[in-house]
Structure 1
């Protein structure tokens, strides 16, 4: 029974896994932000994004992601409600238009696209939502990664441009606008970058991974506070001794998603960056 339950979930990892091999980041000082939260925690916490925001783990432990860990901390600051709209496999395009491949696994039910649902939630709870956490963009680059040859495809630049456009022209502006009440930002919007579970396998892809995360940092500028997850996961040096403990890469699953320990590290990065 466990094997049959795991089959569809393991297929989630396949699309998302390769994507995160991109994500070896080096955040330029100009974009690095710490303790940059302006508003602070409020009654409601909203998490949006892909499988990391969802808290996927291949052992079917789906309740110990970074959003759950962050919420546990937020409760000590008076936050009493938590909505996780993340969808495993989500891209920036599917977040805008709908059609997330694994929408059946949603933790928070909604109709339509994740972005529209998040905007509606913010509007219905105007002035009462902070923070909003977001991780998105990794799955946009899925088809460009070949971990067998440690190379990227010719569509790399165009896919990166699509990610940028979706973030800066649609996703971040809409979330920001929905979090603005009477001309004032009513909550903190936190966008994370990614660790690279494949950095020990494809160290030659560091420059591509750095490029993605630099784009995420630039995209966040003016809309969200960037949360650096890469550094607490061990940085760019290889071999990275944290990969086995913070991800499932060294397990029989060979899966890129974070372990409970890894998700705790991500949650701590959000807490340290937010300053609460």
Structure 2
């Protein structure tokens, strides 16, 4: 039974990578501008999203995800509380409406949808939550990707539009509103982009991954600071040796999720982008 669950789980959150429309992050002036606009860490840290935010690994090591590593760093900046509401398999739609496929695995108990729970948490701890980290959207597009033929399905465009609508019109505005106290943003919202675990298998699909991630970057505009993890996990060149070094793709599991080392690299990207 456990073996069957593992086989199901390793398919659930296929990350895709964000093209370097975020290339400006390498510029010192851009870093200064980003850091100047951020609030900084507070006593509470909230992580929301899919299986990467959850910290899933196919060997069932569930305590060394990027959120866990980031919290270890945040404690040196005064953080005393960490809530990880992420659900493996979460899509933007299930985040809004509930019904996450693997809700039984939640690390932080709540009733209803993840978004409603996150908003309630922010309201109950008004002014004391920063940062909020988010990665979501990969599962919206996963079923459109055929790695056997390196092609996409006919529902690609409609699924992409749904992802945009859910992020831009519901998820990001609601989180932002809940983080606004007396008319001012009280915390930092950090949206992670995705590495591409399939780039060595399907290098010809780079343009499709670029489209997804350009949309994610556009959706985040005005709401969240984008954290680039695509670059530190190896960038666009193929073959990408970091896919083997930082994910389980080259292991017996053939799993898309990050290893403990990979999650540490992702956490470092959050730290570098936030400046704390």
Question: Which interval holds the TM-score relative to the shorter structure?
Answer: over 0.9
Partner of 1:182: 182
1:15: how far off? 3.1
After TM superposition, the structure 1 stretch with the greater mean CA deviation from structure 2, 161-170 or 23-32, is 23-32
Counterpart in the other structure of 1:13: 10
Is the counterpart of residue 124 in structure 1 residue 124 in structure 2? yes
Deviations 1:95-134 (A, max 9, x none): 0000000000000000000000000000000000000000
2-structure distance, mates of 1:99, 1:267:
28
Deviations 1:2-44 (A, max 9, x none): xx4342133111232xx33xx1321314875646241000000
* Distance (Å, rounded) in 1 between the aligned partners of 2:31 and 2:148: 36
Aligned partners of 1:60, 1:100: CA distance in 2, in Å?
19
- Any conservation in 2 of the 1:193–1:213 contact (CA below 8 Å)? yes
Contact kept in structure 2, 1:31 and 1:218, CA below 8 Å: no
TM-score for the superposition, normalised by structure 2: 0.95
CA-based RMSD? 1.3
- Unpaired runs of 5+ residues, structure 2, are none
Aligned residues: 269
**Partner residue in 2 for 1:251:** 251
2:18 corresponding residue in structure 1: 25
Q: CA deviation at 1:202?
A: 0.2
Q: Map of 1:1-276 to 2, 5 A cutoff? A: 4-16=1-13, 19-20=14-15, 23-29=16-22, 32=25, 34=31, 36-37=34-35, 38-276=38-276
Secondary structure, counterpart of 1:14 in structure 2: coil
Native 8 Å contact 2:48 2:135 kept in 1:
yes
Question: Within 2, Cα distance between the matches of 1:215 and 1:197?
Answer: 19
Q: TM-score, structure 1 length as denominator?
A: 0.95
- Stretches of structure 1 lacking an aligned partner (at least 5 in a row): none
Higher-RCO chain (CA-CA 8 Å, sequence separation at least 6): 1
